[in-house]
Amino acid sequence: MKLTEKDKQFLEHLKRLTESNDLWIDLKVGSPSYMVLRGTYGEKTHRTFRMTRQGVRWRFWRLFNDIYVSAFETILFVELAFGSQLRGPAIRISKERFAIRHDARRAVFQGADEFLGQRDREGQHDAAGGGNDSGRNHED
């Protein structure tokens, strides 16, 4: 699952509210354990997120207990099969992709794969010298 622009904005807002101690994240121990968002869901939270308390809870659950935890589950599964020798290259690739996405400074949060594919397509278009999307010159 990929992060959306709304997810990115939510995380930025959540970071500010956790730094100001208006909200905090706790671990609810169980089988399985899960993370919960604690604090007062008052007017400040509503203004910051521009969504209902239920919307804040839903997006928090999706990001922290679904996407984030699932990413680690995937890592554990891959490392169970192949060991941890691929961790270094995977971390390097993820940092490179993050840097590419960050440098793009696009209004829309875009995955590195999407950005690179778009850049490659534009490069092929420019290299072909054509003024059309097919990369071929057509004579009228």
* Angstrom distances, CA of residue 115 to CA of 42, 71, 91, 103, 137: 38, 21, 19, 11, 25
Is omega for the bond preceding 32 within 30 degrees of 0, making it cis?
A: yes
Q: For residue range 91-101, list pLDDT tens digits in order.
A: 999 999 988 88
SS3 call for 23: strand
Helix axes 53-60, 5-19, angle to 10 degrees: 100
Q: For residue range 7-34, list pLDDT tens digits in order.
A: 999 999 999 999 999 999 999 999 999 9
Q: Say if residues 35 and 26 touch (Cβ distance below 8 Å).
A: yes
Residue with tokens 């020798």: 85
Report which listed range, 59-63, 105-109, 110-114, is most confident: 59-63
Rounded CA separation 60/10 (Å): 8
Q: For residue range 28-37, list pLDDT tens digits in order.
A: 999 999 999 9
